[in-house]
Each structure stands twice: as C-alpha cells, then as structure tokens.
Amino acid sequence: MIVQLGQIIDALGGELVGGLRDQEITRISPLETADAASISFLSNPRYATQMAASKAACVIVAPAMRDAAVMRGACIVVANPYVYFARLTQFWRAKKQGLKPSGIHSTAVVDATAVVGESAYIGPQCVVGAGARIGAGTVLSSRVTVADECEIGERCLLHPGVVIGADGFGFASDGASWIKIEQLGRVRIGNDVEIGANTCIDRGALDDTIIEDGVKIDNLVQIAHNVHIGAHSVIAGNVGIAGSARLGRNCSIGGAANILGHLTIADGTSISPTSMVTRSIHQPGLYTGIFPLQTNEQWEKNAASFKQLHVLRERIKKLEKALEAQKSNNGNS
Amino acid sequence: MIVQLGQIIDALGGELVGGLRDQEITRISPLETADAASISFLSNPRYATQMAASKAACVIVAPAMRDAAVMRGACIVVANPYVYFARLTQFWRAKKQGLKPSGIHSTAVVDATAVVGESAYIGPQCVVGAGARIGAGTVLSSRVTVADECEIGERCLLHPGVVIGADGFGFASDGASWIKIEQLGRVRIGNDVEIGANTCIDRGALDDTIIEDGVKIDNLVQIAHNVHIGAHSVIAGNVGIAGSARLGRNCSIGGAANILGHLTIADGTSISPTSMVTRSIHQPGLYTGIFPLQTNEQWEKNAASFKQLHVLRERIKKLEKALEAQKSNNGNS
Amino acid sequence: MIVQLGQIIDALGGELVGGLRDQEITRISPLETADAASISFLSNPRYATQMAASKAACVIVAPAMRDAAVMRGACIVVANPYVYFARLTQFWRAKKQGLKPSGIHSTAVVDATAVVGESAYIGPQCVVGAGARIGAGTVLSSRVTVADECEIGERCLLHPGVVIGADGFGFASDGASWIKIEQLGRVRIGNDVEIGANTCIDRGALDDTIIEDGVKIDNLVQIAHNVHIGAHSVIAGNVGIAGSARLGRNCSIGGAANILGHLTIADGTSISPTSMVTRSIHQPGLYTGIFPLQTNEQWEKNAASFKQLHVLRERIKKLEKALEAQKSNNGNS
C-alpha cells in the first residue's frame, strides 16, 4: 500500500512542515526501524535522540518538538502526536481493508430471537443466544459466544474466544454436596467496549453484570458475576475480578492483578500488575503488592526470614526495652 | 414470568408465614434491590437490618429469624434458607426455560465412535472426539471440546470454550531441542461436575487425569496432566494446578491460586486466593500467601527492605548478643 | 494394542538385556503402576528402589543402571532413557492412530487467500484468516483461530481454543476516552512450536510478534503484542508476557509467572512459577519471587509486620547506633 503525506493531512489534519505532500509512505514504523518510506511518531520528548537518528520520511511531533524535528526532515505538527498516530493506524487499516465486514457469517449460530444491530458483524463460528442484543457497528470476531439475554452496545469489538454470559460461580452447600444457584441475571455491556481473546464475563446471579461505556479489557481476563466496571476503565491481560466487585470509572488494572469480591474501587485508581486487592480502595492513586524478584538463592534466605517476621518484630521491641532499661540504669548509677 | 407463593411452597416445601398463597412474584432479588413483587432471602443474621428495610413481598428465613421476619411481612421459614434459595433459582429457571435442551446441535462435530448419553446436550460448535463418552443428562454449552477417549459423567455442565483432553505439557530434552512426550492418558470426569468457561483440563501422560464427583471448577482454570481432584472440591477462577498434584475431597481453592506439581493436599484444605502452594499440605485448614497491597510509595520502601530481610535478621541477632555481653559486663563491673 | 519388545528395539534402537524379543507389551506405565505387560523407564537413579519393586515387563535404563535393572528383569539400555521414552510414546501413538490426519475439516473456515502447507491439518471449527500461512505438517486441533496475515511454521501443533493474531492491547488517551491503535503487525511462529489450549498470542502493533523455532507454550498463556521469544524456550501454563518483552533462547518460565513489558531476558534464564519479573535479566540463572505460604493465622501476623518493614529497619539502625554510643560511653567511663 502506498499513501502520500498529503492524503494523511487531508484525512487527519495537522501541519506538514519541511516535507512534500506527494512524499510516498508505505509503512508506519517505530523510530528505530523506520526507513525512507516510513512515517513515525514522537510522543515523548525522552526519545528525541532516537528521532534525530531515525530514517523515517516523516515524524509526527508536538509543537514543542517542531524545531528539533525540522532539523531532521519532514514532520507533521499536531497537538497530541500519540492520538494522531492512533488515528493514523485507523486510517491505514481502513484504506488497506476497505469496508469493514458486516452481517452474519454463514457458520455463526444466531438464535432467531436475538437482535443484531445495523452494520454489526457476527464472525465465523460465533454463537449468539436467545434474546441477546448486539448493537450497531459491533464486531464479534471468530468463535465468540454471547449467551441468552445478554446485551452488547454499539461499536464494540469482541475478539476470538470471548465468552459473554456463562454462568457465574454460585453454589449453596447442603453439607454433603453443592447445590447450583442458577444464574438468572444477564451481562450488559455499554458502547465502544473492546474485549480481548478468550476473556470471560459471567452473567449475574440475580441482578446483572455491567460493563460501562468505553471500557477496554485485554485477553484471558475473568470477570465474575455481578461485577460492575465503570466507564473508560482499562483492564490488562490475565486479570481476575471476583463477584460483585465494583470498579469506578477511569481505573487501570495491571496484568494478572486480582480483585476480591464485593470490594469497591474508587474512580481513577491504578493497580500494579500481579497485585492482589484485598480491601476496598476509597482514595485514588497507584497501589502495589508485588513480591520482589531475586536470585533463587537470595529468595530462599529472605523467604525463610519472612516466616519469622513477626518474631523479628518482637525481638526488636525487646531490644528497645532492654536498651532503654540500661540507659535508665546507667543514668541511675 | 409470574409465580405465586403457593406454587413455590408446593414445589419446594417450607412454611409460609404472614403471607397469602396467591401473592404474585415476578423476580428473585437481593434484599436491597427487592420490590413489592420480589422474593428474597436472608442466609446470614448479620443482614437482619437489611431485611427489616427490604421491600420484598416475601423473605426466605431460618426458624431463628422467624419473629424478626414476620414483623416485616410475609416469609417462608425453612431449615437452610440459602439451599432453599438455590433450589428456588432452579425452579425459576425450569419454569422460564421449559424443557432443558437435549440432543446434538447440527453444527457440533461428534465422532461416530463417541457415546453420548440419554438426554445429554451437545451445543453449537462443540467437538467430541473418537471414543469419548458423555454421560446422561450432561450439557456441553457452545464451543466445548472433549478430545478422543475422554469421559464425562452424568449431569455435568461444561461452559463455552472448555477444553477437555488437550495434551499435557511434556517434553524430554535431547540437549538441543525438546522431544514431545505423546500424552497417552485420558481425562475422566465424574458425575455432577461443573466446569467454567475456557477452562482447560489436560489428558494424562500415561495414566489419566481424574476429576471426582461433584467438583465445581470456575472459568479460565488450568488443570495439568495427571492431576487428581477429590470429590466436591471447589476451584475458583484463574487457578493453576500443575502436573500430578493430588487434591483431596472438599477442598476449596481461591481464585488465581496455584499449586505446584506432584504435591498432595489434604481433604478439607482451603487455599486463599492468589496464594502459591509450594509444598504438600497434610493438615486441613486455611492457608494463605498474599502479598499485602500498599500505596506504591509504601510498597517501594518495604520491597527494598524485604530484599535485605535476612541481613536485618543477622543484625538483630548481633544486637542481642552485644546487649547480652554488655549486661554481663555491667554485672561484672 | 499389543507390541513386542523386538518391534520397539527395531524402531527405536537400544540394547535389550535379560528379555525376549517376543515379549508382549500392552501399555507404557510409570514404575509404580506398571504390570506384567507394561514397559516403563528409569530416568533418575533416585527412583532405583521403585524400579526394583516394579512389576514392569521391561524397564528402559541408562548404562549406569544396567546391573541394577538386570537383577530385576528385562531392560532396554540406552544413552538417554527419558528421550527414548519420549520417542516410545510417539511410536506408540503412531501405531495406535495410524496416519496423522491431514487436510481441512469440512467445518473449518479457511480464507481463500490463506496458504496451507502440504500434509497440514486444519481441524473442526478452526478459522484461518486472509493471507495466513500454515506450514507443512502443522496441526491445528479443533477451534483454533489464526487471524489474517499470521504465519505458522512447519510441524507445529496448536491445541483447541488457541487464538493467534488477535489485536494487541493498544490505545491512546485523548483525555476523555481511549482511541484504538489498530494493530498492523502480524504474528510469525517458527517451526516445531507447540501451543497449549486457549493460549493467546497477539499480533504486533507495527512490527510483528515473533515466536522462534522449537518454543513450547502451555495452556492459557497470554503473549502480548511485539513479544519476541527465543528458540527452544519453554513457557508453562497461565504465564503472562507483556508487550515488547524479549525472551532469549532456552529460557524456562514457570507456571503463572509474569514478565513486564519492554524487558529483556537473557538466554537460558529460568523464572520460578508465579514470580513477577519487573526488570531485565542479563545474567542467566534461576530467579524467584514467591510469597511464602503459611497458615492463615501466621500469615496475618507476618503480613501486618511486613507493612512496617522499612520502619523495623529504621528501628534496627537506631538500636545499633544507641548500642555503639553506649559502648563508647562505657569505654569513656
């Protein structure tokens, strides 16, 4: 595919500086691997030296980097280079693929009572249950299941293997065995939500599991019954969110982090990857609970000491008292 | 759907107190969100004030809560309200859905040599391999794979994306590369087992992987080759159980916990979520290994100290000796 | 199935000692569960007493164990018993199953522009996208997705539910919501790679995600965009590798371990299960970060102390100074 800089400017805006509208571009590349037919971008001034050394035909930069960029060659000056880059990838893909697919693939199994919105796409081997609703412009890639009665909003993207609306994990013990609690709620997903490959979102037990607008969820994430995720929150791969937890808006949950059930997490909270959230968080901020990595030899020593940590604490307290006692003694002597 | 209280009592038993048999119910709700056409339940006396404030038409309670419940309005008195609630959800679902589906969906691929029990259901896009056995009344939801020779018992429920009988992870190194060890064992699953969406249970290397009766497994769980899980154990989402581990009966494994290979876990053991089990457990009880969550700032300080933990321990020992020496000195002086 | 020892020797080599070529074998078994028609193996001298007690018809052993093995009965003496055992499982499977399947299953959806190599097999319900390439002899088990333009090498094995080439997780924030960065790269996988059930490997953002020859990946693993995994590395179940991380050759990543984005891991590095890698590793070796498991009671005490760890450190420092001061005082007095 060949695109001219002028076409990019015409489609996405920005000011072309030090370059020609008919310059031909064949790829979008990171600064380091860019060649003379690449367009690249600088979103962080930290990488200014990489820009200087880049072979890119054109670099997308912020106004503050204009002078540095011009010294190197052509640039497009825009307010937010990273957002411009994102829109450029969308422009690129649309140009390359042509029209987005729509309709229902012949191998998909869509219940007659399901409602599929205008220009939505249900890909190969998908299964859409009775009474489910798929919003306009939403894409189900291959092998997605949306179970009975679940609702997906508009312009969503569900990647292969996603399961929406499997039963939540609920059982009552009668002392000898587990009695299933039928999961009578649904999953309701807002607009502009993206859900990664093989991610599972369970239906609610009585009320619904809710994912608000603009939420982005990565691969292999487990979202249990009756979870509520606030708008524009971002959840990285392998995360687990237990039943009835309530995440605020604009939260960011790092990869493989876990959140216990029935907790409330404040708007704007960030959780570091692999951290375990065991209590509600009322104050936004960055929270972390990562066990430090060490050589196995060091780890063995420290892990053994850890098991004695509260004993060590007692020994310190004892030492402090003994020293205090000695001081008094010395003072008295 | 409308159900009368009398119909519920007739189907499930219990004593209706302070209410009319022809009271109409349209939903099962938690106490807080219940309305005048809801039936709700109180399984824990802790929530008695929520019950008092609930708008539910009727509340399921234990005999001890009878008086408190009657003060509020109609109630059904039963020995175990939570089990009664579970059975009510089953009654509700059956009433709503009518007959459970059975038979083989037209898009499922079932090998001619597989044996599918009476009234079992093989859903859309499922794949059942040669010589596999699916017990009577068992349901494979959409997109489930049961590989060659694997056996599933009766009344099981396998959610979308489940993979039973993929190869266990076994290779021998010849120094340069990995030689595959073909996995010649099977998976054998008992009766009344539920398996969550996208969960994987690998076939054994030589002998079989075994899941006993009544086991409940949540979503995205990985069970490796030759694992043996005792009856009525419960395994939450994202758990990993490594090869040849042997769990007892009535165990409870919290979400995202992991169990190393070849370990033995005693009957009735509970593991907290995200904990890592590195040794066999012979004494039932609750075991935990969760790294405490802190603000990132606190965590950075503590994590740095942790790396010095065994050094700190040595410093405490030294201090104790020095103080002891001083005491003797002072005594001598 | 019945195989004679002579057939095994003829196919795989090795020296038959103390046994007859026409001895009939019906199963391959571990030493403990072997019966009089089993062939078994001893790969580690530690298990010599298990060998002595085994009822196996024949045991595969190394030259050093020849005498001990002969005292018990028939044995096959080979340089590397574990590799021989692996090849025996392959021999066994081939004999039992006959020809490996090849071709494209009637329910698979393979784009007309995809290229499928000679003797490759595309199983039931698989989806292979436009321009994808599947190498000769590669097997896609049931329900595998290989998205547009992705390339799989020769003799690979992809288990059920694998997703190759879903979008990497990339968004730019415009302050209010997340703008999708279209993922324009591919996934390129080398030869002799095995990928476990429901594992996901995302396509690159601009450049490609790369898995080199001979890599073995277990179930439910998440490999993010632009990761590069060196040849013959082994990745256990539930692992997460974040974007642009670069693993060397011959690495070994334990189950449920995680690796942050943009890190570099040296050739031959091993990471213990559930450990979190937060910085690049330049020195090969075994690295660990496992939180020690304890009874919940012990854990509660130690976790509370942990939150004070840097405070404890300060208190030790203070004690050391105080003691030092006393010593000087005492010296001066």
**Whether the Cβ atoms of residue A117 and residue A134 lie closer than 8 Å to each other:** yes
Q: Which CATH number fits domain C3-97: 3.20.20.80, 3.40.1390.10, 3.40.50.11270, 3.30.160.270?
A: 3.40.1390.10
- Across the range B68-76, mean pLDDT stands at 96
In whole angstroms, what is the distance from residue B220 CA to residue A196 CA? 14
Which pLDDT score is estimated for C322?
A: 86
Residue A320 has pLDDT above 90, yes or no: no
Task: Output the DSSP codes for C201-233.
Answer: EPPPSSS-EEE-TT-EE-TT-EE-TT-EE-TT-
pLDDT of residue B331: 64
CB contact under 8 A, B242 and C319: no
Q: What is the pLDDT of residue C306?
A: 85
- Cα three-residue angle A25-A27-A28, rounded to 5 degrees: 110
Chain A to chain C Cβ contacts (< 8 Å): 216
How far is C-alpha C225 from the chain's CA centre?
Answer: 19
Strands (DSSP E) contained in C99-177 are: 103-104, 109-110, 115-116, 121-122, 127-128, 133-134, 139-140, 145-146, 151-152, 157-158, 163-164, 171-173
End-to-end CA distance of chain C: 92
Tell me the sheet residues that pair with A83. Answer: none
Task: With a cut of 90, say whether residue B333 has pLDDT above it.
Answer: no
Question: A271 to chain B, minimum CA–CA distance in Å?
Answer: 9
Instruction: Dump pLDDT digits (tens) for B298-319.
Output: 999 888 888 888 888 888 888 8
Kindly list the residues from chain B whose CB atom is less than 8 angstroms away from the CB atom of residue C143.
125, 127, 143, 145
Check if the beta carbon of residue C26 is closer than 8 Å to that of residue C38.
yes
The residue extents of the domains of chain A are 3-97, 296-332
Nearest to B90 by CA among B139, B140, B28, B40: B28
> Cα-atom radius of gyration of chain A, to the nearest Å?
27
Residue with tokens 């070849």: B262
Residues 6+ apart with CB under 8 A from B97: none
The pLDDT tens digits of the residues spanning B184-226 come to: 999 999 999 999 999 999 999 999 999 999 999 999 999 999 9
Q: Which long-range contacts (CB under 8 A, 24 or more apart) does B30-38 make?
A: B30/A206, B30/A207, B31/B56, B31/B59, B33/A206, B33/A207
Tell me the one-letter amino acid at A192: D
Q: How far apart are CA C144 and CA C156, in angstroms?
A: 13
Answer whether B244's CB lies under 8 Å from B225's CB: yes
Are C206 and A327 an interchain contact pair (Cβ–Cβ within 8 Å)?
Answer: no
* Average pLDDT over chain B, rounded to an integer: 95
Q: What is the pLDDT of residue C331?
A: 63
A151-185 tens-digit pLDDT: 999 999 999 999 999 999 999 999 999 999 999 99
Q: What's the DSSP call for residue A101?
A: P
CA dist B23 and A43 (Å) reads 64
* Closest Cα in chain B to A308: B313
Cβ contact C164:C186 at 8 Å: no
- Catalytically active residues of C are 225
Measure the CA–CA gap between B105 and B108, rounded to whole angstroms: 5
Q: Do B85 and A172 touch (CB under 8 A)?
A: yes
Considering only residues A246 and A99, tell me which one the structure prediction assigns the higher pLDDT. A246
Flag whether pLDDT at A97 surpasses 90.
no
- Residues in chain A with CB shorter than 8 Å from the CB of B307 are 292, 294, 298, 302
- Residue A51: per-residue pLDDT: 96
Residue A143 near residue C145, CB atoms below 8 Å: yes
Chain C residues whose beta carbon lies within 8 Å of the beta carbon of residue A303? 290, 292
Of residues A225, A232, A282, A310, which has the active-site annotation? A225
Q: Could you say which residues of chain C have pLDDT below 50?
A: none
Q: How much is the pLDDT for A331?
A: 63
Q: What is the pLDDT of residues C93-132, one digit of tens each?
A: 999 988 788 999 999 999 999 999 999 999 999 999 999 9
Q: Which pLDDT score, from 0 to 100, does residue C259 have?
A: 98
For the residues A27-52, what does the mean pLDDT come to?
95
Whether B86 sits inside 8 A of A301 (CB atoms) is no
Q: What is the pLDDT of residue C247?
A: 98
Q: Which residues of C touch A273 (CB under 8 A)?
A: 242, 258, 260, 276
Angle (CA) B174-C230-C141 rounded to 5° is 75
Residue B293 to residue A301, Cβ atoms within 8 A: no
pLDDT score for A214 = 98
Q: What would the mean pLDDT of B82-89 be, rounded to a whole number?
A: 98
pLDDT at B161: 98
Residue A160's alpha-carbon distances to A123, A141, C59, in angstroms, are: 9, 5, 46
pLDDT of A133 > 70? The answer is yes
| Nearest residue, CB atoms, A171 vs list B92, B141, B216 | B216
Q: Exposed, middle or buried, C138 (CB in 10 Å: 0-12/13-18/19+)?
A: buried
**Closest by alpha carbon to C237, among B212, A235, A238, A161?**
A238
In this structure, chain C runs to a length of 333
Residue A305 has pLDDT above 90, yes or no: no
Give every strand in the sheet of A151-152, ordered side by side: A115-116, A133-134, A151-152, A187-189, A209-211, A228-229, A246-247, A264-265
> Residues A23-48: what's their mean pLDDT?
95
Q: Would the CA dihedral through A308, A309, A313, A314 be positive or negative?
A: negative
CA–CA separation, B327 and B126 (whole Å)? 78
What are the residues whose beta carbons fall under 8 Å from the beta carbon of C133, sequence distance 6 or more?
A: C114, C115, C117, C150, C151, C152
**Which one, of B224, B232, B241, lies nearest residue B191 by Cα?**
B232
